[in-house]
Amino acid sequence: MNDRGPLLALVGPTASGKTEASIGIAKLLDAEILCVDSMLVYRGMDVGTAKPSPEQRAAIPHHLLDLVDPSEPFSVAQFQSLARNVVREVRARGGHPLLVGGGGLYYRAVVDGLRFPGTEPAVRRLLASEALAIGGEALHDRLASFDPVAAGKFPPANVRRTVRALEVSAITGRSFSTYAEAWERYPSGVVRAAGIELPRPVLHRRIEQRVMGIMPGLLEECRRLLDDGFGRFLTSTQAIGYAEVVACAEGRLGEDEAAASTIRRTKALARRQLSWLRRDPRIEWFAAGEDGAPGIQDELMRYLRKDTSTVEPPTSIAVEV
């Protein structure tokens, strides 16, 4: 593969065994791993995000991990810029970039060169203040009055997305929904992607086992992060497991309750990840069993190592964010 060939990707839901399988695959393909995940970018959040271990990172170069502290703002556009640089650097060394993760947005940001609407902090702060003053439903009604398509994509309770939709409209003069049209375009030839699919009961068992296994370490990690002043971020709705463990550390939840809530939210995350990824017709899906991706590692590797044709780099397209 030359510097204009397709990217390689191994994708699938959380707890499907992507990380474990990717190590052996990367060794055989002479590849370096690019982690495409919205939470692995945060330093110090290792246990709850199932970040690759020091041993795994020593075996194969990993990129796009530990980029910022939890309190620092970080966007998918920033991630995209960093990822593009890494792709160029890996290819310049003669290696192959292997994207690994379950984050559909981050995966497509790298693969398809999506263009993201800008941000304006002052506008966002004003809209967030309005949401507090008049309520998320009233703000959602405002969005629906001039962009019903965008408003129909998410419920009034999702204030973050309502604020973002209004912010984009305010600073670009375009309705937020016009950016969504890019999701329907999947340029061929830019990626060879293998997806991991597990029966739902198997995936749920793996999620339950993972959560129960990490709870002691997650409690310890959370206490350390709280001591470092990252409590506000940890209790956000993004930080699955961390919000529950903070509540546990503060005596507001028992350990069993914290684990049960983390399991529920992780299963919901897996459903969302699969929903995003299944829209992409370029992903070839491989059925795994109780062992997850490591059990079909040879099959995944054979598919990813196939000869691929040279293609032009992907054209940037706009996307809703």
| Burial category of 285 from C-beta neighbours within 10 Å (exposed 0-12, middle 13-18, buried 19 and up) | middle
The dihedrals phi and psi of 176, each to the nearest 5 degrees, come to -60, -35
pLDDT for 184 equals 76
Amino acid at 217: G
**Are 293 and 25 in contact, with CB atoms under 8 Å apart?**
no
pLDDT for 2 equals 39
**Mean pLDDT computed over 16-23:** 96
Give the C-alpha distances (Å, rounded to integers) separating 214 from 1, 54, 226.
39, 16, 18
242-249 vs 200-227: helix crossing angle, rounded to 10: 50
pLDDT for 302 equals 94
Residue with tokens 């490591």: 294
pTM of the model: 0.84
pLDDT for 160 equals 85
Task: Tell me which residue of 172, 182, 187 sits closest to 319, measured CA to CA.
Answer: 182
On average, the pLDDT of the chain sits at: 89
Would you say the C-alpha torsion 32, 241, 39, 101 has a positive or negative sign?
positive
pLDDT in tens, 55-64: 999 999 999 9
pLDDT for 239 equals 86
pLDDT in tens, 215-272: 999 999 999 999 999 988 887 767 899 999 999 888 899 999 999 999 999 999 999 9
The dihedrals phi and psi of 49, each to the nearest 5 degrees, come to -100, 0
Instruction: Give the burial string for 110-125 (b: 16+ CB within 10 Å, else e).
Output: bbbbbbbbeeeeebbe
Taking the alpha carbons at both ends of the chain, their separation in whole angstroms is 32
Domains of the chain by start residue, with CATH = 7-112+185-318 (3.40.50.300), 121-183 (1.10.20.140)
DSSP codes of every residue in 33-58? EEE--SSTTBTT--TTTTPPPHHHHH
Strands 191-197 and 7-11: parallel
Give the C-alpha distances (Å, rounded to integers) separating 19 from 8, 179, 277.
15, 32, 17
pLDDT in tens, 140-171: 999 999 999 989 988 898 888 899 999 999 99
- Answer whether residue 313 shows pLDDT above 60: no
Give the C-alpha distances (Å, rounded to integers) separating 233 from 39, 132, 230, 236.
12, 19, 6, 5
